[in-house]
Amino acid sequence: MKYIFCVYINESKRVDMYLSALFENFSRSYIQSIIDNKHVGVNSKIISKNIKIKNKDEININLVIESSELKAEKIDLDIIYEDDDILVINKDANINVHPVPGFLWQTWTLVNAILYYCKSNLPCIKWVYRPWIVHRLDKNTSWAIMIAKTDSMMDHLADIIKNRHIKKYYLAIAYGKIQNKNFKIESYIWRDPNDRKKMTAKNPINPKLALSYGEVLGYIDDKYTYLKIEIKTWRTHQIRVHLASIWYPIIWDIVYWNTKANKEVLNKYWLKRHALHASELILNLYWKTMTFKAELKDDIKKIIKQI
């Protein structure tokens, strides 16, 4: 889409700020990217994103839009909430959020499903219409996940996430009986020096402070603890690492606990993934507090029925 027009402003203004305000369906980062790639000219000259424009300057802009190479696939979605700007989904476990490099997992991901469901009603990211997924978790975790459908909502949610203006609550089942009904775990965690695919609270590389709060909701078979957890920091594998560090790991966590204990859970409950579910998101949208709740999936729900 190509546009040529004259500027009418009272005082000079940065060109990227002016264009992102004018084309409100495109994010400022997108506008900056097309400027960097020489798709914007002022008075017939290629410019940089930080130059200032003035009244009666002529702007020539090419809003480059490409189609996504990702395949749109009809996959059932468990939709919690939807409007013109945002989609909130209760993601199943054992499904990837994004396609990963290589032959496997290029299809049948959450992105493929959203591309089919939303068609072209999605933000433009790096010149391609694609879903902007606000936050990510492990493939085997079920959770409430937000998807921005417009550039303006993408920018707004990015700001909320960056400034931590959101509350996130999880439900989990841990090995053992945690006696403290309310507890706090605070430690430094990050990469395991012996395995870069794992996180650790013991001598991590480049340690980062992590803080979690837990509440005991009940016990299962007098052997496991059903928990509600709020995280104050958002570290990779934070809940899994924190619970394992105090010797109450999440059941069927094949990364942070032993195989023998996991087999016991498989044989008794037929649970085939770690028992962790991101159940609730609370944030300010449309000038009010909104809460999105994701119901437990059946595999965990049938275990906690015994409480």
Pick from 210, 212, 209: nearest CA to 231: 212
Position 37 in a domain: yes
Tokens of 120: 């072209």
DSSP state of 85: S
Model pTM greater than 0.95?
no
Residues 144 and 177 in one domain: no
Q: Is 138 a catalytic residue?
A: yes
Please state, in angstroms and rounded to a whole number, the distance separating the CA atoms of residues 288 and 40.
38
pLDDT at 64: 64
Query: What percentage of the chain has pLDDT greater than the value 90?
Result: 39
Q: Helix 15-22 and helix 28-36: axis angle, to 10°?
A: 130
Contact by Cβ (8 Å): 121, 146: no
Residues 151, 199, single domain; the answer is: no
Q: What is the mean pLDDT of residues 86-92?
A: 93
| pLDDT tens digits, one per residue of 203-251 | 888 899 999 999 999 999 999 999 999 999 988 899 999 999 999 999 9
108 and 18 share one domain? no
Same domain, 174 and 202: yes
Per the CB < 8 A criterion, the answer to whether 219 and 307 are in contact is yes
Average pLDDT, the chain: 85
Instruction: For residues 172 and 270, state if they share a domain.
Output: yes
Q: What is the CATH number of the domain that holds 21?
A: 3.10.290.10
Residue 101 is classified by DSSP as S
CATH number of the domain encompassing residue 135: 3.30.2350.10
Asked whether residue 67 is domain-assigned, the answer is no
pLDDT of residue 135: 65
- For 281-295, letters b (16+ CB in 10 Å) and e give bebebeeeeeebebe
Residues 268 and 296 in one domain: yes
Residue range(s) defining the domain that contains residue 157: 79-162
pLDDT tens digits along 273-301:
999 999 999 999 999 999 999 999 999 99
139 and 11 housed in the same domain: no
The pLDDT score that the predictor gives to residue 24 is: 60
Task: Work out the number of other CB atoms within 10 angstroms of the CB of residue 302.
Answer: 13
When pLDDT is cut at 50, 70 and 90, the band that residue 120 belongs to is low
pLDDT(122) > 50:
yes
Final residue of a domain: which of 117, 146, 162?
162
Q: Which of the following is catalytic: 16, 85, 138, 151? A: 138
For residues 28 and 118, membership in a common domain is answered with no
Question: Does residue 116 fall inside a structural domain?
Answer: yes
Report the domain count for the chain.
3
**Contact predicate 293/279, CB 8 Å:** yes
In angstroms, rounded to a whole number, what is the distance separating the alpha carbons of residues 94 and 46? 48
Q: Which of 56-60, 73-77, 105-109, 276-280 has the lowest mean pLDDT?
A: 105-109
Task: Indicate whether 93 and 149 sit together in one domain.
Answer: yes
**Final residue in a domain of this structure, among 162, 188, 216:** 162
Residue 214 in domain: yes
Does pLDDT of 149 surpass 50?
Answer: yes
